[in-house]
Chain A
Amino acid sequence: MNSNKEILKEKEYTILNLGPTHPATHGIFQNVMKMDGELIVEAEPTIGYIHRAFEKLAERRPYNQITPITDRLNYCSSPINNMGWHMTVEKLAGIEIPKRVQYLRVIIMELARIADHIICNSVIGVDSGAMTGFLYVFQWREFIYEIYEELCGARLTTNIGRIGGLERDFTPLAWEKIHKLLKEFPEGLKEFENLLVRNRIFMDRTINCGPITAERALQYGFTGPNLRAAGVDYDVRVMNPYSGYEDFTFDIPLGTNGDTYDRFMVREQEMWQSLSIIRQAVEKLEKMEDKTTFHADVPNFFLPEKEDVYNTMEGLIYHFKIVMGETEMPKGEVYHAVEGGNGELGFYLVSDGGRTPYRLHFRRPCFIYYQAYPEMVKGAFLSDAILTMSSMNVIAGELDA
């Protein structure tokens, strides 16, 4: 007995400093971990290593110049952020968006969701030792980049769309690529799934790794795939439909344990749902009589055609007003949320009628749910902690704003 007590007294913990730049943590996260051998006793995350002052910056930028800032929130799925911001301003200004534009936006957002989940899921594979899946499926992300390029000219930080619509209609080549994606991506995704979903090593590695209960997840403010993996069917697209999501039929995939495997599977299934939504949107657009509208009729917000700017007085005035940020905004405050790649991405906007927002607060899902991380990895192995982090899809840009 006595000697036992002495051993207990002598027990020493190792303090392990994981990060800020650690090869396994894909981004800038520091965790000071108290380790008992290989087990984590305590973890203390430090964040803010790429704090870029988005909210302060947004107070000094005209509304249309804030879109590039939103790009850099969750840069794995920038188009969703862009659209969310446009919709927030449209809500404030009371702009009705034509159905066709809404469906085009849905296509863009769902493409972005697929691109986001491709990164997250293939990186879970990489962290559990399966590089091949990443190399396969990244080609599809490249392909989605190509579609983005066709739509807006950029690959990653897209700045896609404008307040009041899209900057241009989809080109024939873009449609061709979207059809190609719809036709061929299922095969690629299936191939990726075959590598991992029933893979014994992968399952042993991820099941029961970093679990969280539904109750705890809700208390911690989880949203998005991470919350759904815990078994709560909360999806902003269904709860507060925006941009015509109410016209689509899709399932919300759910997990049960809230562990890494469930998070992986929820994302995997969401990609299939996104594909189905894109397919429905394409069908709806084909049936639609209107084939040309790509923006609402709001000359106060939407830049006129270049020809009009050069040839008509009105066009020139509107162009000048928009570019100089002289458009009058209504006073008021508005909150709009979209289902981002990681969950409810909300914009709380207070306008005092000036050319810039008076206050713009981003509800950043990563930032809110990352605080549950110490609790999720307590008592786990170090290698599980790495997997848990990558399966939570914590994106530094969104985390630190």
Chain B
Amino acid sequence: MSENNQKLEGFEGPGFLATSLDKAVGMARKNSIWPLPFATSCCGIEFMATMASTYDFGRFGAERLSFSPRQADLLMVMGTISKKMGPVLRQVYEQMAEPKWVIAVGACASTGGIFDTYSVLQGIDRIIPVDVYVPGCPPRPEQIIDGVLKIQELVQNESLRRRNSPEYQELLASYGIE
């Protein structure tokens, strides 16, 4: 399997594993992501399929959808974000507690897709930082799951200090987020 299921590095014996705090926390976070589905349009229906019995999203430790931004770790933006919706999305992002990750599902969320029109935001990365993009119009459930696995990889390998780093602060500042 991929590096996603990589074994944790550390000192292992019968019944225990000694490793650095970073890695232990990363592993715990990775397997208990609470996603906030921000489903606006077509991709939301594909997400429904991902949630349902055939694809069973719950297998990846994300059984519990957090509809409240306060308790969510992963913002899944699925579908077209219009300019009218933009401020709402940004507010939801700002309400989420750190650490937080964002996945842009589908062409519309990533770039605006086929809707190159006056009313559609041309990609959500114009208002909030995005970690993983999933292409497709709409992407298949397999692709959505693949995107979430990519997020899991990021989560596992993220340094505990990243959110305090000047680079991260700079990134947020570039979006005008305090």
Contacts and interface: CB of A to CB of B under 8 A. Distances in A.
Interface string B46-72: 101100111000000000010110000
Interface residues of B, number: 33
Given A156-B42, A157-B42, A397-B42, A145 B88 contact: no
A69 B108 CA distance: 13
B97 interface: no
B107 to A, nearest CB: 11
- Of listed A52, A57, A145, residue having the most chain B CB within 10 A: A52
Residues of A contacting B: mostly: helix
Contacts of A397: 41-42
B165 interface: no
B137 interface: yes
Contact of B52 (A20, A134, A157): A134
Contacts of A28: 40, 85
A49 B40 contact: yes
Contacts of B114: 68-69
Nearest to B38: A21
Contacts of B138: 156-157
Interface stretch (A31-39, A135-143, A343-351): A135-143
Interface residues of A, number: 36
B84 interface: yes
Contacts of B65: 23
B115 A75 contact: no
B140 interface: yes
B147 interface: no
Contacts of A27: 39-41, 44
B118 interface: yes
B92 interface: yes
Contacts of B44: 26-27
A138 B45 contact: no
26 contacts: A21-B88, A22-B67, A27-B39, A27-B40, A27-B41, A49-B82, A49-B84, A49-B85, A50-B81, A50-B85, A51-B82, A52-B80, A53-B117, A53-B118, A56-B117, A138-B48, A139-B53, A139-B54, A142-B52, A142-B54, A155-B46, A155-B140, A157-B138, A396-B40, A397-B41, A400-B82
Given A49-B85, A57-B115, 13 more contacts: A27-B40, A28-B85, A49-B84, A50-B79, A51-B119, A56-B117, A75-B45, A134-B52, A136-B53, A141-B49, A142-B54, A156-B46, A397-B42
